[in-house]
Chains A and B, each alone.
Chain A
Amino acid sequence: MSALETLLLVLAIFGVLTGLSVIVLSLIWLERKFLGRMQMRMGPMHVGPFGLLQPVADAVKLMAKEDLLSSLVDRVVYWVAPLAVFVPTFMIWVTIPVARDLVIRNLDMGLFYIIAFSVLSIVGLVTAGWASSNKYAVLGGFRAAAQLVSYEIPLILAVLGVAMLAQSMNLEEVVNSQSTVVYALVQPLGLVIFFIAGLAELGRTPFDIHPAESEVVGGPFVEYSGAHWAVFFLAEYINTFAIAALTVLLFLGGWLFPGISGDVSALGVLVFLVKTYLVILVVFWIRGTYPRLRIDQLMSLGWKVLVPLALVNVVITASYMFYGWSAWSLSLMSLAILGAAIWGLSKRMRTAPTPEYTVKLYVPAPEASNAG
């Protein structure tokens, strides 16, 4: 690498970091405004025009806050955990293109790289839970590990379907192969699986099992305060943006739009951003609509519904590719299976009785019975 290339790379990395920070601020504002409107409130109003500067004020407040530290925490591990969550969320942006040729490094295995590195932040969440020496944090860490590892599988299988259609794991080629039909129409089943599993990977409502305030009072983050808590928060919003961006790139045609030439980079970025923000609005909309799932509902949705459906998706995509059926037959099959799954699930949810649980408490046996 020559000196100029290295300089450009460093500049690009700083540019992405700055851009992501601005995007996170905009997302926080958008979420508060949008949820406020949905709940017939105004949202932030007073700091700046339309409350636009509220996230900035919040960020300054978080930075200025005292960093409280419990005397029981394992200090080194405790400080490493936010980094272990944040660094992978940033690293995946190395290969996410925002327009044609506008990417730091266009990796041939971009999709695989993104999946592999996005998984790394689970280690950080579990570590945060453990190092906090707090039972709610440990429980939250358990929940995070169980949830994220389970939903990884349908997510990867849904991405596999797209990679098979595009015959490539290079994100730019995946987008270019959607120039005639977007994969959302070819594989509606894959889109739904990817979006649900992506929401679960984010840990946002209705899948906020690990930070659930009313159950584990904030989960792995319960002991963190000030700037270190802000790092987790930042990572969550960057991940939200990343999942929305991946939905756009994999299923909604990325920077392509009928009638708009993608060759002009600025226009491509604009199309990409508009699509991504629309997907993010859907994420916020879902947050404002649905209550949190119970943990058993979450696990059974992941393992009994999404994993089999994702496998079916891969199988029908493979047979479509192998036998060379026409594209509309795949979308019809995909749509039919999706409809059948939704019908079956909603019927089961309406008719199935709420399961009863017996909680076994650990009671130490009395001494007498031990002797006998």
Chain B
Amino acid sequence: MLPLDIAFWVMAAVGVATALAVVMEKDIFRAALFLVVSFLVVAGIFVLLNAEFLAMVQVLVYVGAISILIIFAIMLTRNAHEGNPFNSFQLPALVLSTMMLAAIAFVAVNTEWHDWDQLGLQVLPGDSGEVFSATEQGIKNVFGNTTQVIARLLMRDFVLPMEAASVVLLAAVIGALALVRENEGEA
């Protein structure tokens, strides 16, 4: 087994375990912390896929911003100590997550994955050092610098959807401000 494989299986196991813990944990604050670990593991898996830019975005946005907001909301919740309530949506949730799993499996099976040979790799058994560097080089040959590729896609090919997304976000920010703004007459 290569070190990268070991890293992948450890991360996959931790990721699934923490994702389960988010749902099962009674204490919602602990559930939020498990969510943080789960996000971090996903970032680790992105690194294994040589998608460093995506991994950093994952850490910055999901771990650094979204989970903080979730924790913030939990701290503002009254009776947060009463724990994670269970409701009657278990069956719909099961159906939904099964459909999600099916969709991901369908995509994974039907995607034409780049073969090791296509990446110009020579897997040398027994010498893990060669494999690691060859993987990096091979993937760089095919995809180039991921940051530049993503930047080119976002800023050239998909610039309109990206700008539309930023307008939507701006509208959300203004809406939030309008909601929390104190009424002049009351104050």
A interface residues with partner B (beta carbon < 8 Å)? 1-2, 5, 74, 76-77, 80, 107-109, 112-113, 115-117, 119-120, 122-123, 126-127, 130-131, 138, 141-142, 145, 149, 152, 169, 358
A149 contacts which chain B residues (CB < 8 A)? 65, 68
B interface residues with partner A (beta carbon < 8 Å)? 3, 27, 29-30, 33, 36, 52-53, 56-57, 59-60, 63-65, 67-68, 71-72, 75, 128-129, 132, 145, 147, 187
B145 contacts which chain A residues (CB < 8 A)? 108
**CB pair A127 B33 closer than 8 Å:** yes
**CB pair B56 A123 closer than 8 Å:** no
New A-B pairs, 16, CB < 8 Å, besides A77-B29, A116-B59, A126-B75:
A1-B3, A1-B128, A1-B132, A77-B30, A107-B52, A109-B147, A116-B57, A116-B60, A116-B64, A120-B59, A120-B63, A123-B33, A123-B63, A126-B72, A130-B75, A142-B75
**CB pair A80 B33 closer than 8 Å:** yes
**CB pair A2 B72 closer than 8 Å:** no
Shortest Cβ distance from A273 into chain B, in angstroms?
Answer: 28
Interface of A is mostly: helix
List 26 A–B pairs whose Cβ atoms lie within 8 Å, in order of A's numbering: A74-B27, A74-B30, A77-B33, A108-B145, A108-B147, A109-B52, A109-B56, A112-B53, A112-B60, A116-B56, A116-B57, A116-B59, A119-B63, A119-B65, A120-B63, A122-B64, A123-B33, A123-B63, A123-B64, A123-B67, A123-B68, A126-B75, A127-B71, A142-B72, A145-B68, A149-B68
Q: Identify A123's interface contact among B60, B71, B75, B147, CB under 8 A.
A: B71
- Bound: A122/B29 CA distance, A: 15
**CB pair B56 A138 closer than 8 Å:** no
User: Count of A-B contacts with CB under 8 A?
Assistant: 73
- Bound: A17/B108 CA distance, A: 42
- Bound: A145/B129 CA distance, A: 42
A5 contacts which chain B residues (CB < 8 A)? 129
**CB pair B63 A126 closer than 8 Å:** no
| B129 (CB) vs chain A CBs: closest residue | A2
- Bound: A119/B59 CA distance, A: 9
**CB pair A126 B52 closer than 8 Å:** no
B30 contacts which chain A residues (CB < 8 A)? 74, 76-77
**CB pair A145 B56 closer than 8 Å:** no
- Bound: A107/B53 CA distance, A: 11
- Bound: A68/B67 CA distance, A: 29
Shortest Cβ distance from B5 into chain A, in angstroms?
Answer: 14
- Bound: A152/B65 CA distance, A: 10
| B55 (CB) vs chain A CBs: closest residue | A116
**CB pair A123 B36 closer than 8 Å:** yes
A2 contacts which chain B residues (CB < 8 A)? 129
B36 contacts which chain A residues (CB < 8 A)? 123
**CB pair B128 A141 closer than 8 Å:** no
| B76 (CB) vs chain A CBs: closest residue | A142
- Bound: A76/B25 CA distance, A: 14
| B127 (CB) vs chain A CBs: closest residue | A2
Q: When A109-B52, A109-B147, A112-B53 are in contact, do A145 and B60 touch as well, CB less than 8 Å?
A: no
| A156 (CB) vs chain B CBs: closest residue | B60
Q: Give the 4 A-B CB pairs with smallest separation, nearest first.
A: A119-B64, A116-B59, A116-B60, A2-B129
Shortest Cβ distance from B56 into chain A, in angstroms?
Answer: 5
Shortest Cβ distance from A180 into chain B, in angstroms?
Answer: 25
- Bound: A358/B36 CA distance, A: 37
A112 contacts which chain B residues (CB < 8 A)? 53, 56, 60
A76 contacts which chain B residues (CB < 8 A)? 30
| B36 (CB) vs chain A CBs: closest residue | A123
| B65 (CB) vs chain A CBs: closest residue | A149
**CB pair A119 B60 closer than 8 Å:** yes
- Bound: A130/B3 CA distance, A: 38
B65 contacts which chain A residues (CB < 8 A)? 119, 149
B75 contacts which chain A residues (CB < 8 A)? 126, 130, 138, 141-142
